Amino acid sequence: MRLDQIAINSQCTSHRNLEEALDAYAAAGFRNVEPHLNLVKDWLDDGHTVDETRRLFESRGLRVVASSQLEVMCFGSPDARMPNLRANAENARLIRELGGDVMVVGTDGPEQNSVEALGLVADAVRQLAEATEDTGVEIAIEFNWSPIVRSLRSAVRVAELADHPRVGVLFDTAHYHVTPTELSDIDREAVRYIKHVHVDDMPDEPADLIHRDFDRVLPGEGAIDLPEIISTLERGGYEGYFSIELFNADLWRLPAKEAARRCYESLLSLCAAGSRPSGG
């Protein structure tokens, strides 16, 4: 992992608004960001234009690399699903206007989970990709943000069935830790579908008894072998971004700049020595 591949997800910090968040990330040393679309839309609702918002990132030397907000509705009638398809398509266009390349999505689920139902998920995500061809934004399915897509293998199966070059997988190390996903699942065939990676650590407790989101800790403070996972991803051919994503109450109690600094520093030891800042 190189320094120019690290990013921060805005869920990591507590902040008044988008401007305060971006000031904190830039001050910490980040150059790549993954703002949640709720944060962006709140800023737009305050009277700012998309062009002004894009310049807010650019003026701080920050690049939007991904974003997220909604699940993809895969089950139900076409009429019931259409508003969700339109909303996700609008989100993809906003991400592109901000300079981003990846939209992370979850999914809903069927009344009864089955391998066959993964085909309906694939159909819905393919439809979203086709509806957003003009954006070029890639759709990354986050396994375990779904009642049916619960592991890397099931997410890869959906991407295979979708058979669309812009449909792939979001790999999150916390979800890896708490789901039936093994290191051996991160093979070259799986990695070719991975569009984006979230980096976080988890406490040394039984994986089935910790919360997938709210028990996350800074990289290096938990039990996940992050260097091994990252090197496995890289050996499989992954060359994208590694975005820290925490839902940590201790970080949320800190000023945004201090929380962002801790996030940045926690990633430095995972970066290849030659890419670290001087003295890092």
pLDDT digits (tens, 9 = 90+) for 219-232: 999 999 999 999 99
- Which pLDDT does position 274 carry in this prediction? 52
- Which pLDDT does position 44 carry in this prediction? 98
Mean pLDDT, residues 19-37 taken together: 98
Residue 168, token pair as written in the block: 């792939």
Mean pLDDT, residues 94-122 taken together: 97
94, 50 in Cβ contact below 8 A? yes
Q: Is the pTM of this model over 0.85?
A: yes
- Which pLDDT does position 280 carry in this prediction? 40
Mean pLDDT, residues 137-160 taken together: 98
- Which pLDDT does position 272 carry in this prediction? 77
What value does the CA radius of gyration of the chain take, rounded to a whole number of Å? 18
Q: Going edge to edge, which strands form the sheet with 138-142?
A: 63-64, 32-34, 6-9, 242-244, 194-199, 167-172, 138-142, 102-107, 66-72
Share of the chain above pLDDT 70, in %: 97
The mean predicted confidence, pLDDT, of the chain is 96
